[in-house]
Amino acid sequence: MNSAPITTWEGAKAYFTFADQPGVLMVISALALAVCVGTIAAMIRHENACVRKANGA
């Protein structure tokens, strides 16, 4: 079942993909990794602070 409206790329003015630029893909992947790690680190700090507060420390 092919429901895509695009049947050919002929006549396309531009389409944006970074498949031929591994450097850009690496930068985007590194940024995504940094966001994920940063989110997890912030979550751990917050949870530890909540536990300390709940324990009266």
Per-residue pLDDT tens over the stretch 15-53: 667 777 889 889 999 999 999 999 999 999 999 999 999
Tokens of residue 34, six digits: 């940094």
Could you tell me the maximum CA-CA distance found in the chain, to the nearest angstrom? 68
CA distance 15 to 13: 7
Report the candidate in 16, 12, 13 with the shortest Cα–Cα distance to residue 24. 16
Report the candidate in 5, 8, 28 with the shortest Cα–Cα distance to residue 18. 28
Q: What is the CA radius of gyration of the chain?
A: 22
- Residue labelled with tokens 């989110």: 39
pLDDT at residue 1 greater than cutoff 60: no
